Amino acid sequence: MAQAGTVRTPPSRRRRSAAGQRLIFLVLLLGSVVMIVPFLWMLATSFDWGARLNITFPPRLWPEEPSLKTYKAAFMNVRMLRYIFNSLLVSAGVILVSALSALLSGYALSKLRFKGSAAVLLLALSTMMIPFEMTMIPQYLLFSKIGLIDTYWAFYLPALNYAFGTFLAKAFIDQLPSELREAAIIDGAGELAVFGRIYFPLCTPIVATMVILLFLGVWNEMLWPLLALKSASKYTIQIGLAMFTYNNGLNHQPSIIMAATTVSLIPVVVVYLFLQRFIIESIALSGIKQ
């Protein structure tokens, strides 16, 4: 017998709910297949020595001639390790500059409450509506005049303006209690000490989110590196793959291209797998109340 005060869900509503959940599951499953199959196809082709001349269709998810020769050929034709190191160097600098800039500005806009803070945030966010293609030429001319073309400073200095990260940091820090800052100020701490010792350790989830977004963006960027870098020894992985693909005639050997592309994706996958749990924490911590 049902206890007094309990509300029983009608069977028809339960059936509709179960049918809706099954429909959602099927849609998500279909979406997962659509996204995973091309990756599996690329991975299988990268090990298929027989596919160095042409790629079969429909996709073959298991290599016909399994071999590591494709990867050996990729490393012989493309300076993979050098380009990966260059991309890691650029990514690390951009992430450090952008994340620190976004966290400091987000903290200031969230906790300092100075006059005009809303206008500053609106102005920063408005820069996101300007396409990079509109500022690309003026930025190139500026860095050319001050001698920063063909250096990685051409990546680090623009990273100071990370408006989206500022918005994320402000929204996250808004959820953290202001009483922590007030108590630290009473104890004689300065603003930088308050940020560095109290709020920064609590911002680990949002920092991880920024790292993933920035790393993906910088690692896959090609247009600005193509303009800013002149020396082949400084090329990032995307330019290196593109240049050597055409210079060495590898565009007629698909499996070797797939092998080089697979290697270039390894750092991205590692970073995402290592930091994805922090994204879940950032969602959970967003419910903190003062």
What's the rounded Cα separation, in Å, for the pair 74 and 261?
9
Residues 176/202, Cβ–Cβ less than 8 Å? yes
Nearest 10 degrees: Cα torsion 50, 55, 57, 59:
80
The candidate with the shortest Cα–Cα distance to 106, out of 176, 172, 158, 175, is 172
Q: Within its chain, how far is the Cα of 33 from the centroid? A: 22
SS3 call for 12:
helix
Supply the pLDDT for residue 140. 92
66 forms bridges with which residues in the sheet? 48
CA-based angle 262:39:68, to the nearest 5?
40
pLDDT tens sequence across 97-114? 999 999 999 998 888 877
Give the C-alpha separation, 236 to 145, whole Å: 23
**Would the pLDDT of 88 be above 90?**
yes
Over residues 206-221, the mean pLDDT reads: 89
Q: How confident is the model at residue 53 (pLDDT cuts 50, 70, 90)?
A: low
How much is the pLDDT for 146?
92
The pLDDT of residue 250 is 54
- The CATH class that applies to domain 73-285 reads mainly alpha
- pLDDT value at residue 288: 45
* pLDDT exceeds 80 at position 56: no
pTM of the model: 0.80
pLDDT of 287 reads 46
Give the model confidence (pLDDT) of 142-177 as tens digits: 999 999 999 999 999 999 989 899 988 888 888 888
Percent of the chain with pLDDT over 90: 17
Q: How confident is the model at residue 289 (pLDDT cuts 50, 70, 90)?
A: very low
